[in-house]
C-alpha cells in the first residue's frame, strides 16, 4: 500500500454517543508544487435536535449517503480550513437545505482553484447558536498560511482537528519514500505532530498559537479525531501536550 488507508472506507464508525468518523479514499493536495496523497476522514455529529453536523466531508458514495440519511437530516457542512473543502459543493447538491460554513481563507481559495464551492456562513471564534450548547470552537491563530477552526464536542470530550496534528503510521505503508517523508515532516506515529512546513508558518507569531493551545488544554479532551493518520481514542490531553511541545520552544 502506497500510503496508509483506514478500511473499511465510506463506513460510519462510532467514536462515542452520537459522534462518528468516516474514513475515505486518497485525495491529492498540492504541497510545494507536488501532488501529495493524503488519506481522508470526516466527522459526523448528531445534534440534540436530531440533525447532522458534518466536518470536512469526504467524497460521497451512495451507500454512505444512505447510511447517513438513516441517522438524520444533514444541516451543516463544515470546512475547517481552506484546504478541506473539496467535496462541500458535491454534498450541497444532495443536501440543498444544509448550510455551508467557511473557514478563514477558503472562499478566496475556492475561487482560484479548479474545485469550486459556495459558502453561506462564516465560522468564528465563538460557536454559533446552532450548536453552541453542544460543540465549542475557536480559530487556531498564528499561522501565516493556514488558520484552522478546531472543535470540541462537549458530551464525548472529543477534540476535532484537521491538519494541526497529522499522525501517519509508517508500519502501514510498504513505501520507504513515504515512511521517510513522515519521519522528516514530524508526522509519523507514534509521535505525530503539526507538519514541519506548517510549524514554520508560525514563526514570530507563536504567542497567538500558545493562547489557542491553552484553550485546547482547558477543554481537557479525552479523544482527538484527526483528518490524517491514526486518531486518538484515549489519553487525548496527554497526546495534545506531546504533539504541541514545539510551541514550548
pLDDT value, residue 4 = 79
Domain ranges of the chain: 12-248
pLDDT value, residue 62 = 97
Q: Is 71 helix (H, G, I), strand (E, B) or coil?
A: helix
Q: Report d(CA 81, CA 150) in Å as an integer.
A: 9
DSSP string, 104-138: TTHHHHHHHSSS----SEE--SSPPTTTTTTEEEE
pLDDT in tens, the chain (249 residues): 577 789 999 999 999 999 999 999 988 776 655 667 889 999 999 999 999 999 999 999 999 999 999 999 999 999 999 999 999 999 999 999 999 999 999 999 999 888 889 999 999 999 999 999 999 999 999 999 999 999 999 999 999 999 999 999 999 888 898 899 899 999 999 999 999 999 999 999 999 999 999 999 999 999 999 999 999 999 999 999 999 999 986
Instruction: Please provide the CATH number assigned to the domain covering 12-248.
Output: 3.60.15.10
pLDDT value, residue 34 = 60
Q: Which three cell numbers stand for residue 249?
A: 520552544
Angle between helices 236-243 and 206-219 (to 10 degrees): 170
Amino acid at each position: 500500500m502506497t500510503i496508509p488507508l483506514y478500511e473499511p472506507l465510506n463506513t460510519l464508525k462510532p467514536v462515542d454517543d452520537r459522534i462518528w468518523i468516516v474514513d475515505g479514499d486518497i485525495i491529492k493536495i498540492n504541497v510545494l508544487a507536488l501532488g501529495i496523497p493524503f488519506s481522508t476522514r470526516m466527522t459526523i455529529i448528531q445534534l440534540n435536535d436530531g440533525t447532522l453536523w458534518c466536518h470536512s466531508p469526504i467524497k460521497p458514495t451512495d451507500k454512505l449517503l444512505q447510511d447517513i440519511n438513516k441517522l438524520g437530516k444533514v444541516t451543516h457542512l463544515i470546512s475547517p480550513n481552506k484546504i478541506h473543502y473539496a467535496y462541500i459543493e458535491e454534498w450541497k447538491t444532495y443536501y440543498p437545505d444544509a448550510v455551508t460554513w467557511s473557514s478563514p481563507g477558503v472562499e478566496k481559495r475556492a475561487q482560484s482553484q479548479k474545485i469550486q464551492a459556495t459558502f453561506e456562513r462564516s465560522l468564528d471564534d465563538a460557536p454559533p447558536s446552532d450548536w453552541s450548547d453542544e460543540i465549542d470552537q475557536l480559530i487556531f491563530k498564528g499561522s501565516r498560511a493556514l488558520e484552522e477552526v478546531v472543535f470540541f464536542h462537549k458530551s464525548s470530550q472529543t477534540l476535532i482537528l484537521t491538519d494541526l496534528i497529522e499522525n501517519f503510521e509508517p508500519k502501514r505503508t510498504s513505501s520507504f519514500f513515504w515512511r521517510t517523508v513522515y519521519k522528516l515532516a514530524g508526522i509519523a506515529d507514534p509521535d505525530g505532530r503539526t507538519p514541519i512546513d506548517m510549524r514554520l508558518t508560525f514563526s514570530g507569531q507563536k504567542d497567538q498559537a500558545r493562547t489557542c493551545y491553552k484553550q485546547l488544554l482547558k477543554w481537557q479532551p479525552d479523544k482527538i479525531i484527526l483528518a490524517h493518520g491514526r486518531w486518538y481514542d484515549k489519553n487525548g490531553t496527554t497526546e495534545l501536550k506531546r504533539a504541541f511541545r514545539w510551541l514550548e520552544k
